[in-house]
Amino acid sequence: MPVGRPLVFHEGGFMPLAEAKIGIMTHALHYGTSIFEGIRGNWNPDDGKLYIFRPADHYRRLLEGCHMLMIKLPYTADDLVRITIELVERNGFQEDIYIRPIAFKGAQKVANLKLHELEDSFALLAIPFGAYIDTQGAIRCCTSPWRRIEDTMIPPRFKIGGLYVNSILAKTDAVLAGFDEAILLTQDGHVSEGSGENLFLVKGGKLITPPVSDNILGGITRDSVVQLARNELGVETVERSIDRSEMYVAEEMFLTGTAAHLTPVGQVDHRLIGDGQVGTITKALSDLYFGVIKGRNAKYKHWCAGVTVPKLIRV
């Protein structure tokens, strides 16, 4: 990364990270009134490009969340994609990165719970980012005693900052108990999702995944995997509620998410899934997915915004 970096985008302009500050009275800091995204940029050394995966879809989801939280941004999804590309170019990243836009109630007002009275802010940053779940092969999960937040509480279909306390409690307890990831159930006991990932089972040659109405985030990786499975492997996905015990007898299981990519699951609650190793369909999907996100699959190149890092700012 060039000297003087990282640069971030904050309040309408690019500036060094150290200069991008918010006050301690910021509403979002106190109440979690933010909408954020996680977007990956995947470095492909073969053609010297960084491929940003489905950025317009991430920004459409961000803007939907902003609508929900009454955050007005002066940008369209296309504007945000352009700003993101410029951020990547200016920083000269030549490695895998994680891009974090955050729209939030930036008002310096602490005792005010009225969204319509609070001013909005926006920031965008990117950091070098490798593996999220640092485990080789298939991971070990547990069912969390924490239940997934319901749409009637804080809508989980949006990436609302405050909502993530739910995920953080589940993830922390799972890791401290020696597992890699937590699986959260809905209030009525159906499988919802991982703390930061959607969930798939493989059974009888089909994929099974919970519907959005089971309080999941409608993941962009989930959607990509559904399309790749159908188009490239002829494997259909059934969207339906899943009982906890169905996980134990699945042939294969995996999680999907921007940070976690496609992560095979080998155990849930001390029961092996299949033979506990990475399953055949999981492996085939994973190989396809990693080719696609690095811009190596011509058919899906429209999912990637390829950024050539300009020579003048390389160091």
Question: Residue 222 CB, nearest distance to ligand PMP (Å)?
Answer: 6
105 is catalytic: no
Site string for ligand PMP, 253-282 (x = CB under 6 A): ---xxx------------------------
How many chain residues touch ligand PMP (CB under 6 A)?
Answer: 14
Question: Residue 225 CB, nearest distance to ligand PMP (Å)?
Answer: 9
Nearer CB in complex with ligand PMP: 225/268: 225
**93 close to 43: Cβ distance less than 8 angstroms:** yes
Please, which of residues 26-45 interact with ligand PMP by CB under 6 A?
A: 38
> Which candidate in 72, 105, 114, 159 is catalytic?
159
Site string for ligand PMP, 220-249 (x = CB under 6 A): xxx---------------------------
Which of 5-13, 18-26, 65-73, 193-201 is the region at the interface with ligand PMP (rule: CB under 6 A)?
193-201
**Partners of 121 in the β-ladder:** 104
Nearer CB in complex with ligand PMP: 51/309: 51
Nearer CB in complex with ligand PMP: 216/309: 216
**174 close to 49: Cβ distance less than 8 angstroms:** no
Q: Which two tokens stand for residue 185?
A: 């159930």
Which of 4-12, 230-238, 250-258, 282-290 is the region at the interface with ligand PMP (rule: CB under 6 A)?
250-258
Which of 2-10, 11-19, 191-199, 203-211 is the region at the interface with ligand PMP (rule: CB under 6 A)?
191-199
Helix H, strand E, coil C: the string for the chain is: CCCCCCEEEECCEEEEHHHCCCCCCEHHHHHCCEEECCEEEEEECCCCEEEEECHHHHHHHHHHHHHHCCCCCCCCHHHHHHHHHHHHHHHCCCCCEEEEEEEEECCECCCCCCHHHCCEEEEEEEEECCCCCCCCCCEEEEEEEEECCCCCCCCCCCCEHHHHHHHHHHHHHHHHCCCCEEEEECCCCEEEEECCCEEEEEECCEEEECCHHHCCCCCHHHHHHHHHHHHHHCCCEEECCCEHHHHHCCCEEEEEECCCEEEEEEEECCEECCCCCCCHHHHHHHHHHHHHHCCCCHHHHHHEEEEECCHHHCC
198: contact with ligand PMP by CB under 6 A: yes
Nearer CB in complex with ligand PMP: 221/282: 221
286: contact with ligand PMP by CB under 6 A: no
**Partners of 307 in the β-ladder:** 50
Question: Residue 171 CB, nearest distance to ligand PMP (Å)?
Answer: 10
Among 6, 55, 219, 279, binds ligand PMP (CB under 6 A): 219
CA dihedral 215, 220, 223, 229 (to 10 degrees): -130
Nearer CB in complex with ligand PMP: 8/39: 39
Nearer CB in complex with ligand PMP: 107/163: 163
Question: Residue 200 CB, nearest distance to ligand PMP (Å)?
Answer: 12
Which residues are designated catalytic?
159
By CB under 6 A, name the binding residues for ligand PMP: 38, 167, 193, 196-198, 217, 219-222, 256-258
